[in-house]
Amino acid sequence: MQDMYGEREQLFDQLMQELEALRRTGQQYAENEAEYRKALRIAILEERSKGTPVTVISDLCRGRPDIAEKKQLRDCAEALYKASGEAIMALKLRIKVVDADIQRTWTSGGTGEGGYL
């Protein structure tokens, strides 16, 4: 029984760490998104000032190595952010399973078996 309580505490600790990671990765994602959009805006304005046809400006700008790198950084930050969110959901599920095991042990008189009253 103590093992289950210890496991639950460990899961809570992991959950708190992952929530902090979610905050950090979310902030990095937002910063990378802002940098990408600023660089893209500048590139678009440069192309417009050159007289590049509007229909190809978007493709030309997004294909520039500096813009593509900023988009890659943004996309990587987004993937980390989403992975942290998924890890949080998995930890919450594991906590629910451990809580159910604890509850089952309590209602069975410590044998780990038994049904509902």
Give residue 7's pLDDT. Answer: 93
Cα 69 to chain centroid, rounded: 20
Q: Which residues of the chain have pLDDT under 50?
A: 116-117
Please give the radius of gyration of the chain, using alpha carbons only, rounded to the nearest integer: 25
Which residues 6+ apart lie within 8 Å of 29 measured at CB?
74, 77, 78, 80, 81
In a domain, 117, yes or no: no
pTM of the model: 0.79
- Output the CA torsion sign for 109, 10, 87, 92: positive
Q: How is residue 95 annotated by DSSP?
A: H
Residue 79 lies in domain: 2-107
Provide the domain count of the chain.
1
Give residue 107's pLDDT. Answer: 82
Give residue 117's pLDDT. Answer: 45
Give residue 92's pLDDT. Answer: 97
In a domain, 116, yes or no: no
Give residue 106's pLDDT. Answer: 80
Residue bearing tokens 């500048």: 42
In a domain, 112, yes or no: no
